[in-house]
Amino acid sequence: MEKTRPIIIIKKKGGHGGHHGGAWKVAYADFVTAMMALFIVLWLLNTSKPVRDAISGYFKDPSGTANKIGTNMAGVAENFTLSRDNMPKLKEQLQQTIRQMADFEKLKTHIEMTITSEGLRIELSESASGTFFDSGSPKLKDDGRQLLGALAQELGKLPNKISIEGHTDAKPYPGSAAYGNWELSSDRANAARRVMQAAGIRTDQVTQVRGFADQCLRKHEAPLDPANRRISLIVQYLPRTEPDDEKPAAAGEEKGELKKESTAPAAAEKPAGKP
């Protein structure tokens, strides 16, 4: 009997479907683009108004805003001009810088910033034990060096000029001493200048270094109070300048008004009988 041949069944497996194509790449690119747009919007919401204005101006006129804030790699403070309009912005920026100091809680009651007619006045007042300077000495302590250095790094980015003042209380030195409050206030102001210039202030940025001794007390009712001993930094406004195309018209109008106002009274006040 012949052996039965085995039955061989051949099953063909189905192959992979057709090529998926690049549709997924398009979807992924759209997702990445949407995420990038989201992060840009979140960043813009967290920036200051001058930066947002500069970015908006760049898209409207790229060539005309190259020297504005946020259009170069110099940072936000670069090209920041201190004026009466943006003074609070600079004050806030400096306060944020100071808050990052390790000893801020100990120093915060001795730092005061006020907006005056001269500009932004930053006053560093002393305590009875001496906060920024050794008692009766122009030698700066570590806290004073650190604070002045932090301020210098921010103020050095400004085009504005700075004046530095030194003040003492009314406690006099011994009568026979050759060194007194005038010398101490001047030496402390100069010590602050040297530290700030080494930390970021430009050599041509400081216009005045003045020592007032006890002639400009902070607390007149308490001339011996340690708060009268202080260093004052004044960040001055830049002088206002008018556009060239507006000056001739303004000058012409002003002359015309003066002529009208001066001719009429002259005729009325002319004494009778005199030429």
Residues of the chain short of pLDDT 50, as ranges, are 65-79, 243-275
At 101 the pLDDT is 83
Q: Which domain holds residue 72?
A: 37-79
Task: Classify residue 167: in a domain, yes or no.
Answer: yes
Give the count of domains, the chain: 2
Cβ-based neighbours of 82, under 8 Å, separated by 6 or more: 90, 119, 120, 158, 160, 235, 236, 237, 238
Q: Check if the beta carbon of residue 50 is closer than 8 Å to that of residue 39.
A: no
89 and 194 in one domain? Answer: yes
115 and 67 in one domain? Answer: no
| pLDDT tens digit sequence for 60-76 | 666 554 444 443 433 43
Q: Check if the beta carbon of residue 163 is closer than 8 Å to that of residue 212.
A: no
Q: Which of 150, 95, 146, 110 is nearest to 230 (CA)?
A: 110
At 45 the pLDDT is 83
163 and 46 in one domain? Answer: no
188 and 110 in one domain? Answer: yes
Task: Classify residue 21: in a domain, yes or no.
Answer: no
171 and 92 in one domain? Answer: yes
Using CA atoms, how far apart are residues 167 and 175, in angstroms rounded to an integer? 20
Q: Which of 239, 229, 265, 231 is nearest to 82 (CA)?
A: 239
Single pTM value for the model: 0.58
Q: Which two tokens stand for residue 44?
A: 């813009």
At 2 the pLDDT is 58
Q: Which of 228, 231, 110, 230 is nearest to 170 (CA)?
A: 228
At 14 the pLDDT is 58
The number of beta carbons lying within 10 Å of the beta carbon of residue 119 is 22
Task: Classify residue 19: in a domain, yes or no.
Answer: no
How, if at all, do strands 162-167 and 230-236 pair? Answer: antiparallel
